[in-house]
Amino acid sequence: MATGHGARGRSGGRPTLEEVAARAGVGRGTVSRVINGSPRVSEATRAAVEAAVAELGYVPNTAARALAANRTDAIALVVPEPETRFFAEPYFSDMLKGVGAEISDTEMQLLLIFAGSDRERRRLAQYLAAHRVDGVLLVSVHADDPLPDLLAQLEIPAVISGPRSAAETLTSVDSDNYGGGRSAAEHLLARGRHKIAHITGRLDVYGAQRRVDGYRDALRDAGHKVDEALIEPGDFTEEGGRRAMTRLLSRCPDLDAVFAGSDVMAAGARQVLREEGRRIPDDVALVGYDDSAIARHMDPPLTSVRQPIEEMGRRMIDLLLEEIADRRPAASRGLERRQVVLATELEARASS
């Protein structure tokens, strides 16, 4: 077997994960699976990767564990929200399902950590500073959340579920929130609705902002003026949906459609519409977001924008394993920030 490359890659320094992938003719994710012992790789692919590792002299942390003693074989799934919200919203359970399914093929342990209060965040910061995990998945990130910057400072591999802004510096996996918001509004316009209200998610969440952008652009492109009175902030909770719907009806009693930024908020909005004697969809059409079990079991069944939440969880694990396999921070590797965006799809049902 050729060893002329020694322990240096094309860059002249320590061989990188990208160089191993290029030599083996596979993607970075496949290399990380082989390195982390996943059985979900064919024998031919595994042999090609192992040959490339040997030829380039690549030494991943897993192989150097006995020398470096810097691996914990643990990944933290950090949710900067109260536990009550985690268990109330299907988004989180679906994300956990995807993460759990993907990590089951590795030797990694998954730790679920809530950081919804200042006290919990301080405790988490101390835990992370002690480098007790190899990497972090950060779910439901708000614009002012200090955790992503802390992870960058500590040089802990991290992947977040959706960027904090258009200028995100960490690796992220998200769904097409702009396209999802746009498709919801376009669907309601196609149904002949003219006064379409939008109950937003928390607007310190970038994904919620992008759904509003999609909604606005769909209305403008169809020749409709965007009426700010028809946009009401929510908070992704059922009670938030109730409050927002109540305010919208008091301001715009002649509205004929509502796009809620989550199925949970749509459920709250539906309760208020029923209490006010509005028939769904005859008087008011209703569209949600997430396409969760709530949507399918609502009466009438809820039209909803499906985002592939489980797939998002799986992709987050894949990217994190790549970061862990090449422990150097992204800046020193010279890599561009990676932002994976998965497609959304509107599922039409009887509510619209």
pLDDT of residue 323: 86
Entry pTM? 0.78
Residue 199, C-beta contacts closer than 8 angstroms, at least 6 positions apart: 232, 233, 234, 240, 241, 244, 245, 248, 258, 259, 260, 261, 265, 266, 269
% residues pLDDT > 70 (the chain): 90
Amino acid at 202: R
pLDDT of residue 202: 92
pLDDT of residue 4 exceeding 70, the answer is no
Other C-beta atoms lying within 10 Å of the C-beta of residue 299: 10
Pairwise CA distance, residues 39 & 105, whole Å = 6
The phi and psi torsions of 198 (rounded to 5 degrees) equal -130, 120
pLDDT of residue 87: 84
**For the chain, how big is the Rg over CA atoms in Å?**
23
Reported as a pLDDT band with limits 50, 70 and 90, residue 64 is: very low
CA angle 108, 102, 168 (to 5 degrees): 90
**Do 243 and 284 meet the contact criterion of CB atoms below 8 Å apart?**
no
Q: Quick one: tokens of 100?
A: 């759990």
User: What is the enclosing helix (H) or strand (E) of 98?
Assistant: helix 90-103
DSSP letter (8 states) at residue 335 = P
pLDDT of residue 288 exceeding 90, the answer is yes
pLDDT tens sequence across 11-60: 456 778 788 889 999 987 788 788 777 777 888 898 898 888 888 888 66
| Mean pLDDT for the stretch of residues 213-234 | 97
Reported as a pLDDT band with limits 50, 70 and 90, residue 216 is: very high
pLDDT of residue 60: 62
**Do 285 and 256 meet the contact criterion of CB atoms below 8 Å apart?**
yes
Beta-sheet pairing, 171-175 with 158-160: parallel
Reported as a pLDDT band with limits 50, 70 and 90, residue 336 is: low
Least confident of 94-98, 196-200, 226-230: 94-98
pLDDT of residue 58: 80
pLDDT of residue 70: 60
One-character DSSP codes across 261-272: SSHHHHHHHHHH
Reported as a pLDDT band with limits 50, 70 and 90, residue 328 is: low
Residue 175, C-beta contacts closer than 8 angstroms, at least 6 positions apart: 207, 307, 308, 309, 312, 341, 342, 343, 344
Q: Tell me what the pLDDT averaged over the chain comes to.
A: 87
pLDDT of residue 97 exceeding 60, the answer is yes
Q: Distance of CA 96 to CAs 106, 139, 240, 295, 316, Å? A: 16, 10, 24, 19, 11
pLDDT of residue 80 exceeding 60, the answer is yes
pLDDT of residue 319: 92
| Mean pLDDT for the stretch of residues 295-313 | 96
Tell me the three state secondary structure of residue 233: strand
Least confident of 3-17, 77-91, 330-344: 3-17
The alpha carbon dihedral of 23, 27, 28, 34 has a sign of negative
Distance of CA 212 to the CA centre of its chain: 18
Q: Quick one: tokens of 315?
A: 């992709």
